[in-house]
């Protein structure tokens, strides 16, 4: 099997999924930096991700934003969901 659309049978191309992507970011309001397994407000982030999950979004990756001195006060979550049609 190949990923080259030119060489794929048309039946496979017809059923290929299409995705849209979104980045959800969360910033620590107090400005406190997250270091290691610090006091990340998991309840708040979990609630936001569950709401997005109910809208069809799936978390693909989590990453720090605005790193400084090995810590961050902002995290991002890359989300994807299938595009109808």
For residue 67, is it within any domain?
A: yes
Task: Give the DSSP per-residue string, 40-73.
Answer: --HHHHHHHHHHHHHTT-EEEEEEEES-BTTBBS
pLDDT classification of 34: cutoffs 50, 70, 90: low
* pLDDT grade for 73, boundaries at 50, 70 and 90: confident
Q: What's the rounded Cα separation, in Å, for the pair 25 and 59? A: 12
pLDDT score, position 29: 67
Residue 59: inside a domain, yes or no? yes
pLDDT-derived band at 78, boundaries 50, 70, 90: very high
How many Å from the N-terminal Cα to the C-terminal Cα in the chain? 23
81 three-state secondary structure = strand
Domain ranges, residue 64: 17-82
Residue 60 lies inside a defined structural domain of this protein? yes
Bigger pLDDT: 33 or 27?
27
Question: Is 4 in a helix, a strand, or coil?
Answer: coil
Q: Residue 26 has what pLDDT?
A: 83
Comparison of pLDDT for 47 and 45, the residue scoring more:
47
Number of domains in the chain: 1
Give the number of other CB atoms < 10 A from CB of residue 48.
Answer: 13
């Amino acid at each position: 099997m190949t990923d080259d659309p030119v060489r794929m049978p048309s039946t496979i191309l017809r059923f290929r999924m299409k995705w849209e992507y979104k980045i959800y970011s969360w910033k620590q309001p107090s400005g406190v930096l997250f270091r290691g397994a610090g006091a990340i407000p998991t309840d708040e982030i979990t609630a936001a991700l569950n709401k997005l999950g109910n809208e069809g979004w799936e978390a693909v990756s989590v990453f720090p934003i605005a790193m400084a001195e090995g810590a961050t006060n902002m995290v991002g979550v890359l989300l994807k969901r299938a595009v109808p049609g």
